[in-house]
């Protein structure tokens, strides 16, 4: 029997997993403050009911992404596996890392690779000469694109319509 063709809005609604979205929002809330957070603080930051946040946190705890004593919760290093998966699967990083290293050594300066992610630039690779101390922009650091030279260079590559859409959003 042939399947009925769904329209695009129906497809988006049925293909969206709200619980996954909530769990990811909850993980992102840990970056808003330093140190452990209470269940109430996390629920408020993620705009979730306290009971929902509690179930999500216990699920994340069982998966090893969060540790907690029932009152205070914090991320574990296991969350870095998510970032590592991105970095390992990104061919751009694999291809350009040796180039960044050579440029950094030749210039005796740090060299970085960033990508546009929405309105931000996110640093995804870095080359550094051995003797240069770096306390600055690490991998995963994000900044508004209009505030950085690399962001402005990327925005300059957009056509007028795409740039206008980003600026009005």
pLDDT (tens, 9 = 90+) of the chain, 169 residues, equals 455 555 555 556 678 899 999 999 999 999 888 889 999 999 999 999 999 999 999 999 999 999 999 889 999 999 989 888 888 888 888 899 999 999 999 998 888 899 998 889 999 898 888 766 666 667 888 889 888 888 899 999 999 988 888 777 6
Regarding pTM above 0.75, the answer is no
Domain residue spans of the chain? 8-76, 90-168
Phi and psi at residue 74, in whole multiples of 5°?
Answer: -150, 160
What the block records as the tokens of 34 is 């330093």
Contact 23, 56 (CB under 8 A): yes
Q: What CATH code is assigned to 8-76?
A: 1.10.10.10
Superfamily of domain 90-168: GAF domain (3.30.450.40)
**Chain mean position to CA 21:** 14
Angle, helices 39-46 vs 50-62, to 10°: value is 110
Q: Would you state the structure tokens that stand for residue 31, as one six-digit string? A: 């970056």
- Cβ atoms of 46 and 53 closer than 8 Å: yes
Interior/surface letters 103-124, b for 16+ CB within 10 angstroms, e for the rest: bbeeeeebbbbbebeeebbbbb
């Amino acid at each position: 029997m042939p399947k009925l063709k769904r329209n695009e809005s129906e497809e988006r609604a049925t293909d969206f997993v709200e619980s996954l979205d909530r769990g990811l929002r909850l993980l992102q809330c840990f970056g808003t403050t330093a140190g452990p957070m209470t269940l109430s603080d996390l629920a408020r930051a993620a705009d979730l009911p306290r009971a929902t946040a509690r179930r999500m946190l216990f699920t994340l705890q069982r998966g090893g992404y969060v540790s907690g004593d029932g009152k205070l919760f914090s991320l574990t290093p296991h969350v870095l596996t998510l970032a590592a998966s991105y970095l390992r699967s990104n061919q751009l990083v694999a291809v350009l890392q040796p180039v960044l290293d050579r440029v950094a050594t030749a210039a005796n300066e740090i060299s970085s690779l960033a990508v546009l992610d929405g309105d931000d630039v996110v640093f995804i690779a870095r080359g550094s000469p051995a003797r240069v101390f770096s306390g600055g922009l690490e991998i995963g650091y994000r900044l508004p694109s209009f505030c950085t030279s690399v962001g402005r260079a990327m925005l300059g590559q957009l056509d007028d319509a795409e740039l206008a859409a980003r600026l009005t959003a």
